[in-house]
Structure 1
């Protein structure tokens, strides 16, 4: 095969090394060894002098041979996600190399002579152990795309400003603490990612000089603003800016943002963290029409968050683009109010560690909600509350429901007694998760609440022990629409005296399930009453799963000490 030009061995696990004869393929241009068990390359690889494309990603390669320097026609080299710890100095000979991807390799430093790769346009060192860059990086004058995400990089050399063609620079989640003044020389830079970079200082005027900048990501990053440093007003001078992710920790910065119609139009992610001057309440209304994600964290003086507009005026408000709202570690937050309209795109709400939160009013007005997560809210008693002047009766609201909701998770909400006072319509609900909510005894479900959609119900040991709780489980079994055998319902472990009460029964088919469940429920309640003298029963974890075909699985010693309630469906 002396004329072979393309050899693709990707996803082949038949061999760990290439035969020496690979060097005889003198016309080979393309070699793909990705996703293989290759651990080394033969020295004969040096004979592939016409090779232009070499893909080694996700292999077990431990080093590149020195002979790789002979591949003088190589344009593309990808040893990403390999075990390579160093590069041979002979790589300086790859003067035509344009694309080098070392993503998540074990690389610790770049070799001497790396600056010789003057044609290099793409370099990815994300996830590597690189801590610094050589000064000769300034010689890579054709570089257009640089990535260092989640690497150990601690500083940028001043020579970074000589990369006049650079358009994309990703420094997110690195150890960099300051940016050099010369970064302002990157006049063709279009994308700058500084997410999760805790900068001590951004040079004043450097950002405003990036005249072509289109995307600026400062989300979850802290930077010092002052007379000698960067301030938000610099962003207003960027004529081509279309995407801004921003974290602010002062009310002063927030006011600057709100006072700039230009920045409000381009802001996509906004994080308010530790805004000590942010007191009493905040209304997420028409001011945030273009923002897709808002996170409010550690604003301990904040007591109230209002989502939406006043009921009488909301028709005048433009529709918001907000999709995700995250409230975390706001220790003073007591109330979340949901107003009318404008937040038609809000699909996910996450509330964590808001210890004083007592009320969430009119959540049902957020009709596009797909995901609700609430955890460690110690005072919350009801997830979906109604405002006092709500004229809708429960039946009408229940029919309306949350049409798009697919996932709801409630964890460690000890005072929670109700999700909603009656059954709700959940046509899209797939997973309901409840744990460490000891006072929650009833789910807002009926036989038709999540017809054809519910796949899993995950419950903790404190939940659903009353007769009403068993009604809920019965409803869940029916609405899950199982059409094959339901294999297992087992296990209620008794209380303080460790008297075991085990129940396991088999349901043949869905059309017979309802009557069988009712009969066994009555038996179970009788047996629970008979054991009342031994103390309050304690449930094990409950897990209802609609998935692949399965069988009743017990350990070889019988039921485990923490048995599960699990049902599986065959196709």
Structure 2
């Protein structure tokens, strides 16, 4: 049975009276699990509580669900302990505990769960009320298994676990707690006793503080079927087993290996020529000593099938290997050694996605080959060498290479977007030099982004107005731009006059009796507009009639909205304390299905045209104390609305001071005509 969690408490009290229930599927369970009364669920076979982040413990009585076969606790990130008597749940076949990072240990006696086939996360314990690692020898496990808190085990227990005989396991993870230190010999001995079978597909080793890996890990035959390998936080290891020889390896992650200097140490010429023959994805992160790909002098290491490479904080690495099929490149570095080499290299002709993060503001761009690049998605963090106010020849040449670009995201950059005719999505974050129009001395570019469909701007502290927006735009989202004064630009604003009172009167007249010859809005394709935390905006003139979604949040100076919004489906306005009226300014809103108005303390009226609210499905109005009555059209449709919340309409926002007495019912709020 699938459960709607909106009225879950009442539902459970009713449904749990029926003893015939076989399956209960309530992911992201919002209530305390004590509401699940096991005594009424003797026939339950399947229970899903996955994603219930607030659950810290399960009730002990769950242990009497003797017929339960599947218990899914995946993603219960606050769960600390399982029922102590879980050993009596002998019908249990699948126990999903993946993502239960706070689980302190497994309950004692798990060896009695002989039917168990799946156990995704096992926290090793060392107390009498816990199961240690040797309990695994009695379980016929398959699929994935993550062994954590291995510092609580020893070599003898790890040997007894007999992991090598668990031939149905496909994914294995060995993890020690990072905050508990042991002697290096402990790590080597325990890992040495955890040898696995040769058909394993994925292996992760994390927080391993041994100086070397066990000898069996140098046996390539152990890894013949391995497709994915992760080494994470192994600071003492100076070299890794011969991963370059693994014939099936497709994904390799090396993170936090502080002493690793070379990827292919000890490899001969023949080995290097056939290294990483099937690798498709490579991530190198926090490898502060890595400076070479191979120990062989003069031989360039080739990754023939590599498509995706991510290099982050590897300061000694100055060049990339030969990767003829590279498609996705992500680089984060303080000095642009790798970035410079990429931008002037042959990789540009094959790459489709690039993400660069460079913290060096003084770096200069090297001359580039102006051949056309195939890159369609580009993310830049910092990278000021790619943005120059003087539009140097080198910079212009580089951007001319990106003529196929469709998605561009820039963060903390100097910001000067060059003409990108195919660009469809532009995201700008934390670019404090962005003002919206060229600075003195810079040429105007006309329309540099003629096919742009999505524009997102966030945390641009000096932005006062938007640049010349193209008519192709479908969505605009602007967040945390405190100096923003205009959305459509200075030209369009001045067309409507300067005095707000005269503007508003004119706008009301225009929306009530639109002229057939009225000019088409220059953003005739715009469907979604979202404005959040923009302190200096005073209003929105001439909203485009194509709008379907309008969201305003925390714009304290906004006093008015105007436009004939017949296509609008969603209107959400919150914390706009200067907004006074929406009546006669937006048209009838005949297509509106969702209306949400909250914390607008000066708002007195809403639209009330002859076609208003004819499509309304959801209504919420709260903390609008100046609204003395609802419009007649809205009152007429209240009885047919299933989704409505009006009890706090005339209440004052408790965050703004003392709370006024609330009416007992809507007969005191709605003034009927």
TM-score normalised by length of structure 2: 0.55
* Counterpart for residue 192 of structure 2: 136
* Counterpart for residue 551 of structure 2: 456
**Take 1:558 and 1:274, find their aligned partners in 2: how far apart are those partners?**
44
CA apart distance, 1:339 = 1.1
Pairing 1:257-406 to 2, within 5 Å after superposition: 257-262=342-347, 265-266=350-351, 268-276=353-361, 278-279=363-364, 288-290=373-375, 292-297=377-382, 299=384, 302-304=387-389, 319-320=404-405, 322-328=406-412, 330=413, 333=414, 335-343=415-423, 346-355=424-433, 359=437, 365=449, 367-378=451-462, 380-385=463-468, 400-403=471-474, 405=475
* Counterpart for residue 435 of structure 1: 533
* Counterpart for residue 69 of structure 1: 111
* Counterpart for residue 71 of structure 2: 32
**Take 2:295 and 2:432, find their aligned partners in 1: how far apart are those partners?**
32
The counterpart of 1:123, out of the listed 172, 189, 195, is 172
The counterpart of 2:96, out of the listed 35, 55, 64, is 55
CA contact (8 A) 1:347 1:369 kept: yes
- Distance 1:348-1:356 versus aligned 2 partners, 3 A rule: closer
* Counterpart for residue 145 of structure 1: 202
The counterpart of 1:237, out of the listed 302, 314, 321, is 302
CA apart distance, 1:215 = 0.8
CA contact (8 A) 2:119 2:144 kept: yes
CA apart distance, 1:253 = 2.0
**Take 2:539 and 2:349, find their aligned partners in 1: how far apart are those partners?**
43
**Take 2:300 and 2:354, find their aligned partners in 1: how far apart are those partners?**
15
TM-score normalised by length of structure 1: 0.63
- Distance 1:504-1:42 versus aligned 2 partners, 3 A rule: same
* Counterpart for residue 111 of structure 1: 153
Deviations 1:57-104 (A, max 9, x none): 68897643342234566442134899999752333414743334449x
CA contact (8 A) 1:270 1:295 kept: yes
What secondary structure sits across from 1:182 in the alignment? coil
CA contact (8 A) 1:271 1:294 kept: yes
1:213 and 2:279 aligned: yes
What secondary structure sits across from 1:384 in the alignment? coil
The counterpart of 2:213, out of the listed 158, 162, 170, is 158
- Distance 1:444-1:140 versus aligned 2 partners, 3 A rule: farther
- Distance 1:89-1:204 versus aligned 2 partners, 3 A rule: closer
- Distance 1:296-1:426 versus aligned 2 partners, 3 A rule: farther
Q: Structure 1 unaligned runs (5+)?
A: 387-396, 493-501, 514-523, 525-546, 564-571
**Take 2:237 and 2:582, find their aligned partners in 1: how far apart are those partners?**
57
What secondary structure sits across from 1:121 in the alignment? strand
* Counterpart for residue 89 of structure 1: 133
**Take 1:467 and 1:47, find their aligned partners in 2: how far apart are those partners?**
65
1:42 and 2:120 aligned: no
CA contact (8 A) 1:305 1:337 kept: no
The counterpart of 1:414, out of the listed 469, 480, 483, is 483
**Take 1:263 and 1:179, find their aligned partners in 2: how far apart are those partners?**
33
